[in-house]
Structures are given as C-alpha cells and as structure tokens.
Structure 1
C-alpha cells in the first residue's frame, strides 16, 4: 500500500522522538510526523529509572556527559504562614545511590535522540503537521499539512495538550487551568548549588533552583501570571526579586539567559489508548512543574508502549487494537496516582484554608522524621 506505515507517531518533542525510536527498534515500520521547531531551551530533571530507560533504549550513552547529577533535594517552607513545614532534605545516599537523577538541557537530549533515530531502517521522518485523521476499516487515514496522505495501523499521539490525535480518537480529557504560571530561565549564582536542587515554597507556588553545572542553575518560579509578567518587564527588578526569593543564600544572582513565562494546567484523560490509537506525553497528561514528574512520566509512557509493541504480533488481525488496549490498561494506575500526587501537592501549597495547610505541614514533618515514609516518597518521586 503506498504511503503506508505500521506505526505513525505524531508530534515532535522529546517524547515523540523517543516513541518513534522505540517503535522502530521493536521492529515496526514507523513514520515520525513532526514539523521543524525551534530549539527547546528548557531543561528537564530526569530521575534514575528514566535515565536507565534512555540508556537501555539507546537514546543516550553516559548521562555524565550530557547532564548534571542531582544528589540532594531541599524543601524550604517560605510561606510565612503560622503552620509552616520544617526544612526537609533528601539525599540520594539514603537509598545507596550517587544521584537521584540528572538535570539535562532538552536541546542536548534532543540531539542525542535524533542521533539514535538516524540510520534506523525502520524509521522515517516527515516534517509536517497532522491536518486530519479518521479510521476506516481498521486503518487510520491521515491527511498532512503539507498536502500528503498516509495510512497507518497504529496511531500514536505525542502532540501535546491540544492533541489532534486525542480528538480524532474521541478520547475525552479534563483540564483544570490555574491562575499561576511558570517563569523559567538560567541563572548564574555567586555560590553554586553543588548538586542540590532547592525548592522554596511560597503561597503562590514554589521557587526552584536546579543545579546545571558549576555555578549555573535553572530556575522554575511559579507564581500568578501577572506577577511574573510584571517581574520580567524590568530586568533589574527581576534580579532583585530573584535574590530576595532565594533568601540571599547563594550570593549575588545574575541572569544567564532570557526568561520565558508559560501558563499552567492539570490535564488528564479517561484512557490513554483505544481503537488503535495511543497517547503519550502531554497529549495524555500535563502537570505544573512540581515534583519533576512531567517528562519522567512521559518516558514511562514510552517504556510501557515499547513493552506492548514487543509483545504484539503484527501479522495478526487487530494487533494495533490489542496494543492500544493493553497500553491503556497498563498506564491507568500510574497516570491516576501521579496526577493525584502532583495535583494534591500543588493545590495544598496554594490553599488559603488552615486544614489544608495543617495537613501539608504534618505530611512534611512525617517525611522529615519517619524513615519508611521518606523511602516511600523517594521511591514514588523516582517513578518506582
């Protein structure tokens, strides 16, 4: 059949690239449909299991050459509320690891993923968008933005919050939009973080500094959209705020890159796979950047889909439907747990109500003082 592929992966980004490589490595003819995009200047903190998967999948080699190790995580309650949580530090040495994971520049990961895709005889790429998709007689018929057409047996949506694949497959989603947004940029500190990610909790969201090598840090500041937009209009005012919000713990702070602001929401789906269509990454889930769950969860999507593809029999009738069903079932528990965890953590921090604040404080006291709870929290945060 002309212009036919067994698996069509729609959408660029790291999850889309990883999915295309996984499908091709599983032995399926794969077409990755994604428009050319500007370089992703963001960074991602990826925990040990995610890094292990990337190595096993051939997406990266040695994480030490691409990223900065995250050896400790410090949480500081800066809310100023009567019921404040204690300062809490988690160390990778508690679980016998050198690091919880690594902080990577997305651009460097993207280059490594592209190198993994190059030369794979099962994988082709097409620089286009998806215009429409419909399933007829068990086959997906795709119309692309460049005027081309394509048929595929399994359709994979890695095309973000506004996923066209999700809409074509008729998978419903729920989205809660927040008044908060996130400001991200690179900073140069007078005193470096030495492998420690530091998270200041303020009433309108966390202010997080993630080590990026040397005295460099990546900032993720969550606050009300208008507050962040006002702050970034005046560079000197922004630097003054950053020094204050970091508690002046790291000496003088200076900007090492432009800052960007993006809105936040919590998105979930009823099921991540059905009718020979599956959703990975932000087409299936989106969270505020708290607890380093976003891309980690996306890579767990890819790992689960990879396992389902390896177990499939592509010569049998309805194999793509079977993959979608097994994938949807396999992802349900992880997506539900992680969504509840991140949503609860974020909303409890923002809540003006005393019972919610008390519950959060008691929870952090437990994490600080009860070894079993600490181990469980670390394990969950690493996606184990």
Structure 2
C-alpha cells in the first residue's frame, strides 16, 4: 500500500473503492498517457488470499445486471474475461401486471433481449465475482497507488490543486478529486452540493433461489401493487430475486423463517420453474431516489451513487454509474493529451453536461414507472396494460427500448462502445 504525504502530486485522486471508483482508476491507468498519477483511497482492507481458518468469504445477496455497454467497458479494461464464465446472458424479458392473488398472469409485453449482432442486451453477474475481478485488476496495476483501508475525511481546493485529507491523518495532493464515496458522500456534503431526494414507502429484498426447471435466459418483471418483483436468470437453474415490498410487510417477510420466506416468495414467483429453495443469503434495504443538483465543484467530480441513486426496478443503477466512469475518463484522457489541467472548470463542465441530464432522466423514468405500477387502481391498470399491449405490437419501439437499456443510444462515450480512447 502507498503512504500519504509523498510530496509528488497526483493527477487524479479517487475517494471510494467500490465498482465505479475502481473502474475509473483502471480506465485512467490503462488509457491515460504514461506517467499519469492515480491515487485510489479505499475504505476496504485489501483482499489477501483466502480467509483465515478456512472460513467462507462474506456473501452478498445481490446480482447485477450489466448492460451491453457496461460489458464493453469492462472488456476494454481487461476485466470481462474473469467474469465471462459466470455471466448469464439475458436472452428475453417478459413483463406482466396483475394483483398478487390473480390465478392468471397474462403476458403484456415481451422482448427478445438481443442487439443487431445477436449480442445480448444485458448479462447477470453475481456481486462477489465482479467485486473481486475489479479488486484484483486494480491490485495488479502498477499505475495505481492504493491507500487502504482509509477514507477521505475532508478536502480543500485552490486554483492549482486539491488536497484530500485522509481519516488516517495523512493527505494527498492532486489536480482533481473524484467522489466515488456512495450515496452518503462526505465529499458532496463538504462541497455544499444539495440533492433532490425522497424515500419510497418500500424496501428492496434480494436473494438467490434455485429451481428445478431451466429459465432459458428469460428475465421476468412482474408488477404487483406493492412494487415490482423481478426474477433474473443466473447460471445454472438459479435466479436472482429483486423484490420490492411495502416497508411494514417487507419487515414481516424478512423476519420469517426459511420455510415461511420461501412460501411468500413462491406466491410471487409462480410455478413455471418448479420447486424453489434458497441458494444464497437474503438481504433488505430501504429504497430512495437521490440526484445531486450539481455533479461538479471546484476540482471535484461526483460519480456513481455520490451523484445519483435510482429505484432498482430496471437494474440500471450500476450501469448509470459506469456511464459516469466512461464519460469522465474520456474527458480526463483527452484533456491530458492536449496538455490541459484535468481539474479545470472547462473539462468538468463538459463532464457535467454529458452526464447530469441523462442521470436525472433515467431516475425520473424509474420513479415514474414505479409510481405507475405500484398500485391496484382498476382504471389505471386498464390504461397501463393497454399501453403495454400496444408496445408489444410495435417491433420498432421494442428494438429502440432494447438498445436504450443496452446503453448504446444517444451521445455514448467511446468506452461504452468498446473503443479504446
């Protein structure tokens, strides 16, 4: 691990070693000109071999939907080969809308989730393998100085540099500080950036189940009055469950024993894939929407959850964060090649213009869909089901929606197209 106060300023210091922080560090290490200085401040202690006494590693119940664009980014960074064997392509998507106690779940909308070149529009990967793949790639890079376990507690910027004060007592100097420190970002708060935010009267429940019949790569999004219930295919006869429930009912469900939890899950999952059993831990978390009013400040840029948090109903949270990574990396690399200051307002404004509207639009869409479908009003149900049926009969619209979810429409950073900078 590196030590602070080395005296040599970095070009970029990244606060936060989650998915987006590590991906940005790798992108800059791979693509910026030789000699570009990168510091990564990671709150997690680096992984060093197997856990002591043969104990299994801590499990995380989440699985992550990676869009085709995110897969392209990970391929350029050399991370995808480590994930490919355990990545499940999503070949098709089915959307249904009915009350919990309905005997039939009519099909309203379906997609073949493939792009023009028969490339899947998305893949499902489990949290642990993606976390470890990025962690290993960062550890193996000789161009990234890692400060861990540590956090950036405060910072101060002037006309030429920014000083990041570490919780351990040291300090780093850089041209640009990137806040990748999560939804409760201390750096965003320190910069005085306010957020538009609200909490949902819902919780998210995630787990993995095994079933006796194959899913054939089909994802199902079943809209229920309490919120969407998603069944997302994993490798083998397994599916990841992303289950939105009313807060009080969600707490009751999480308190059930395994048999009771499976019974509640089966009521929503249905019988198409046969008998169910838990194949991983179960977790729950509160749901909220949060968009920063600005993505930049003096020599500071926000990425990932520090900039935006969206409802998980479409599984786009990580993909939106990776769009931040690709856009900021492109701006930084191009400015560096031109001999420009990577922390100057000109480059940061370009990044903000590129990402702020897209992030706010995505959050608004997720919020609107959740509000539209998370109720049982009969007239509204008729109208929304009519709309789903019309879309189902419009192949051109469906192709556009697949490309939009794949992250390859609009002004797309080159890394998301699989191109090196």
> Scaled by the length of structure 2, what TM-score is found?
0.85
2:370 corresponding residue in structure 1: 346
Secondary structure, in 3 states, of the residue corresponding to 2:242? strand
Contact 2:60/2:281 (CA < 8 Å) preserved in 1?
Answer: no
Q: Is 1:171 paired with 2:193? A: yes
**1:205–1:223 CA contact under 8 A, matched in 2:** yes
CA contact (8 A) 1:179 1:225 kept: yes
Q: Please list every run of at least 4 consecutive aligned residues from structure 1 whose deviation after the TM superposition is greater than 6 angstroms.
A: none
Please tell me whether the aligned partners of residues 87 and 234 of structure 2 are also in contact (alpha carbons under 8 angstroms).
yes
- How many angstroms apart in 1 are the aligned matches of 2:395 and 2:134? 38
Task: Tell me the distance in 1 between the aligned counterparts of 2:212 and 2:197.
Answer: 40
Matching of residues 259-298 of structure 1 within 5 Å: 259-298=282-321
The partner residue of 1:188 within 210, 235, 242 is: 210
Structure 2 match to 1:100: 121
Bigger relative CO (Cα 8 Å, ≥ 6 apart)? 2
User: How far off its partner does 1:253 sit?
Assistant: 0.8
Kindly tell me: are residues 187 and 85 of structure 1, through their superposed partners in 2, closer, same or farther at Cα, counting changes over 3 Å? closer
Measure the CA separation in 2 of the matches of 1:16 and 1:103.
21
**Aligned length in residues:** 383
Unpaired segments of 5 or more residues in structure 2? 1-5, 46-57, 409-421
Question: What residue in structure 1 maps to residue 70 of structure 2?
Answer: 50
Per-residue deviation at 1:271?
2.5
Say if 1:303 and 1:278 are closer, same or farther in 2 by CA, change over 3 A.
same
Q: Which residue of 1 aligns with 2:40?
A: 32
CA distance in 2, matches of 1:63, 1:367: 34
Cα 1:355–1:144 shift into 2, 3 Å:
farther
**Which digits, 9 at most, give the CA deviation of each residue in 1:303-343, with x for residues without a partner?**
11111011113744575433311111111231132122111
Partner of 2:88: 68
Structure 1 distance, partners of 2:82, 2:342, is 39
Instruction: Say whether residues 1:205 and 2:227 are aligned partners.
Output: yes
SS at match of 1:188: strand
Cα distance in 1 for residues equivalent to 2:267 and 2:9:
57
**Alignment partner for residue 360 of structure 1, among 367, 384, 404?**
384
CA contact (8 A) 2:121 2:405 kept: no
Q: Does 1:327 align with 2:351?
A: yes
What CA distance in whole angstroms lies between the structure 2 residues aligned with 1:81 and 1:189? 22
Please tell me whether the aligned partners of residues 366 and 373 of structure 1 are also in contact (alpha carbons under 8 angstroms). Answer: no
- What does the per-residue CA deviation read over 1:105-133, in whole Å, with 9 as the maximum and x for residues that have no partner? 12111222123223433211111012111
Show the counterpart of 1:17: 22
What is the Cα-based RMSD across aligned positions, in Å? Answer: 2.3
